Amino acid sequence: MSFEDIIGHSNIKNQITKAIQLDKLSHAHILVGEDGIGKSLLAKNIGFMILGKNEERQYVDLVEWQMDKNKSTIGVSSIRILIEEINKKPFEGDKKVIIIYHAHKMTVQAQNAFLKTIEEPPKNVTILLLCENLEVILDTIKSRCQIHKLKNLNIDEMKEFLSKNYSDLSIDTIKVILAFSDGIPGKAEKFIKDNNFKDIRDITLEILLKLNNAKTEELLKYEKKLSNQKDNFYEILTAFLSYIRDTIIYKEVEEENLIINIDKLLNIKELANIFSFNKLNGIINIINDTRENLDRNVNPALAFEVMLLKMQEV
């Protein structure tokens, strides 16, 4: 894939391309955005362009630095090894590119240890830090880097991405994927390839259908099912909200073409008969509160238990 073929992020691509052509590219950059937004794809293609390579493959002078698999953070010892790698001379040409994945996982001590290298890297070395949370990066690091914030793709860009990579998808499936992916290609691919998303949609729908009549003990059995989806907590909340959104729209206008979860239309009609507008709006508020609790690192099991009880009581 060429640099121009990457979907979205036009401003960043144009800015980088112009800087490289004018030989005015900064020596250090931070690419910040959600997981799956396209940081690594963009970084590698920036690397190819810097090195003057046209073929997409591994190059000795394009170093992709990953966090150790058995570690949850990047510590000082890892940074020292990285600095040694950065200081090695280019092998194939006169330029070298270092891509650092999960830069937001660097400890404060590691960032401080890396500061001098970021400030004064060896000649013709470009450092690209890939980051999901800019707030945890020290100001001293940020001030020495050019920061590029990757935005979620718009609807047309996401449709282009799906058409290009998954041309056999039905229109109904695309509608669901667009709703769940939130403009993030990686989320769309996860939805397509990961059966967990089918389970999430089924579980959340089942909860809503049983919400009014289920006994508390029966309802709380779902808490474990939700908590077991430890990597998909926000997708669970998105699933709930998508069903609530469809139910409200159907109650208001009964327009089937506006429904996102069109494959669950009969269930949406059933939910429209079960819930009042007040109840639906109350559930939305509870789900948003749950999202805030998860953002504050509240125990997921507790967060979902409280959510289910409040949803039943509203």
**194-313 placed in CATH 1.20.272.10:** yes
Specify the pLDDT at position 223: 82
Query: Over 80: is that where the pLDDT of 60 sits?
Result: yes
Of 25-34, 41-50, 72-81, 173-182, give the lowest mean pLDDT range: 173-182
Query: If you ran DSSP here, which 8-state letter would residue 150 be given?
Result: P
Using CA atoms, how far apart are residues 255 and 253, in angstroms rounded to an integer? 5
Residue 300 pLDDT grade (very low, low, confident, very high; cuts 50, 70, 90): confident
Using CA atoms, how far apart are residues 308 and 194, in angstroms rounded to an integer? 25
Specify the pLDDT at position 136: 93
Specify the pLDDT at position 225: 82
CA atoms 231, 176, 280, 152: torsion sign: positive
Residue 204 pLDDT grade (very low, low, confident, very high; cuts 50, 70, 90): very high
> How buried is 242 (Cβ within 10 angstroms: 0-12 exposed, 13-18 middle, 19+ buried)?
buried
Q: What is the pLDDT of residues 169-183, one digit of tens each?
A: 988 889 888 888 889
Supply the mean pLDDT for the chain.
Answer: 90
Query: Over 90: is that where the pLDDT of 208 sits?
Result: yes
Residue 11 pLDDT grade (very low, low, confident, very high; cuts 50, 70, 90): very high
Where do the structural domains in the chain lie, given as residue ranges?
A: 3-149, 194-313
Share of the chain above pLDDT 70, in %: 99
Using CA atoms, how far apart are residues 123 and 95, in angstroms rounded to an integer? 8
Residue 258 pLDDT grade (very low, low, confident, very high; cuts 50, 70, 90): confident
Share of the chain above pLDDT 90, in %: 62
More confident residue, 195 or 293: 293
Pairing of strands 62-65, 125-131: unpaired
Q: What is the pLDDT of residues 65-109, one digit of tens each?
A: 998 888 889 999 999 999 999 999 999 889 999 999 999 999 999
> How buried is 149 (Cβ within 10 angstroms: 0-12 exposed, 13-18 middle, 19+ buried)?
middle
The stretches of 182-275 forming alpha helices (DSSP H) are: 185-193, 196-210, 216-227, 233-253, 265-274
Mean pLDDT along residues 119-130: 94
Residue 190 pLDDT grade (very low, low, confident, very high; cuts 50, 70, 90): confident
Specify the pLDDT at position 1: 61
Mean pLDDT along residues 220-237: 81
Per CATH, the architecture of 3-149 is what? 3-Layer(aba) Sandwich (3.40)
| pTM beyond cutoff 0.85 | no
Out of 181-195, 208-222, 270-284, the most confident range is 270-284
